[in-house]
Amino acid sequence: MMLIRTSSNTSLMANIITVEHPFEEGDLLEEYPDFQEQIYVDNYPFEQMPTRQFRHQDLMTDQGHSTYLTILAKDNDMMVGRAIIVQNNDGNADRVFIRIDVPKQYRHRGYGRQLAAAAKQQCIQRQITIYETAARSHTKNRQSFTRTREMLEQVKIKQTNVEKKSRLYQDQLDIAMIRQWNRKTKEKLPEIEILAYTKQQYRERILEDDQFAAKAVAYYNEVTKLVPQGDSSRKIKDDTVEQVRQQLQQQAKNNWDNYVIFALIDDNIIGSTLVYFPQGKLIQVNTGLTAVRKQWWGRSIASYLKTEMILNLCEKGFDHLDTENAENNAAILHINQKLGFEEIYQWYFFEGMVADLPDAIR
């Protein structure tokens, strides 16, 4: 379902169009992917842009686990900026994540502030009081990051966390070392069992096997609370089996694939790791949550899971693997460094009050 509102206030510098996902067929759906390319080139120099066909399909797909709202600024029929508002279905109904992007040729004209004001209006209408956002430390223009920090400070925002973005290329892997590491870790844990699932296989197991579903949901409810949250006020709430089943059925419709590997001892899940990637494209692979139950920390479970996943990916073929980890998560950062991951930039996360966002262009 798509809802478009275009501002007619002549005091504004650009027309504002608000689109609720998924997009519908039409001129906007054809224009927006071209604008996405500008955003990637200017703001995400280290990222490999998904194909136009993938992005087109993604815009038309209900993501299931999150609600997306895109706000576009158009001046003389040209797209000059966007704000994306994301609300995760995780029980934090009072907050959203907001990202604002303006191509470099349109910066310093007030479009970013106008988009922030439009995002504020949308949040107030939806009774959202808290927003989160993020900025990268490394872009093509270092001054851009400095200006972003300065702008965020003006709206009374606080920094909550820092994550290191690291990358591992397959052609730079020390595969012999990884195999040896995997084998030695396995020798220390002869009782460990590994279960690997594709997206479809995991969904079917959760839907059909009540006992496994209960174990998996209880495991994730436990380990999610162990993920470093920094100073964020976000609440970590437990999911029910029914909620997880609904989420998996919704996610079946999107254009992303994943692999998940579980480590079990005596039929109990003690750890897991996940990767996800554009459907059918094992080129740029992203690491999701790697976690181990606290009572099993210090037993090399995470190392075993990470090496097992990399060996699994090597069999299927991939170009590079990305991961993001909190800067204070020393254990996983040490594992990644030993595997050969190299830091490419840092993410700085922030949290602020919607009421402090600008109301209009000054």
The domain 174-339 belongs to what CATH superfamily? Gcn5-related N-acetyltransferase (GNAT) (3.40.630.30)
- Tens of pLDDT, residues 297-312: 999 999 999 999 999 9
341-352 average pLDDT score: 90
Asked if residue 290 has pLDDT above 60, the reply is: yes
Higher confidence at residue 146 or residue 223?
223
Asked if residue 322 has pLDDT above 70, the reply is: yes
Mean pLDDT of all residues belonging to the chain: 87
Q: What is the pLDDT of residue 3?
A: 46
**Pairing assessment for the beta strands 342-353 and 130-136 based on DSSP bridges:** antiparallel
Q: What is the pLDDT of residue 2?
A: 43
191-210 average pLDDT score: 96
Q: What is the pLDDT of residue 178?
A: 96
pLDDT bucket at 148, cuts 50 / 70 / 90:
low
pLDDT bucket at 56, cuts 50 / 70 / 90:
confident
Q: What is the pLDDT of residue 338?
A: 93
Check if the beta carbon of residue 7 is closer than 8 Å to that of residue 74.
no
- Tens of pLDDT, residues 214-240: 999 999 999 999 988 888 888 888 999
Phi, psi of 69, rounded to the nearest 5 degrees: -135, 125
Where are any strands of DSSP class E within 137-199? 158-169, 193-198
Q: What is the pLDDT of residue 10?
A: 38
15-162+349-356 CATH choice from 2.70.70.10, 3.30.365.10, 3.90.1150.10, 3.40.630.30: 3.40.630.30
User: What is the residue extent of each domain of the chain?
Assistant: 15-162+349-356, 174-339
260-269 average pLDDT score: 96
Q: What is the pLDDT of residue 147?
A: 66
Q: What is the pLDDT of residue 359?
A: 85
First-to-last C-alpha distance (Å) of the chain: 34
Residue with tokens 């997206």: 199
Question: What contacts 274, CB < 8 A, 6 or more positions away?
Answer: 258, 259, 260, 261, 287, 288, 289, 290
Higher confidence at residue 13 or residue 326?
326
Q: From residue 191, give the alpha-carbon distance in Å to each of 186, 266, 323.
A: 9, 8, 29
CB atoms near residue 174 (< 10 Å) = 12
Asked if residue 12 has pLDDT above 60, the reply is: no
CATH topology identical between 15-162+349-356 and 174-339? yes
Residues 5 and 26: their CA atoms lie apart, in Å, by 15
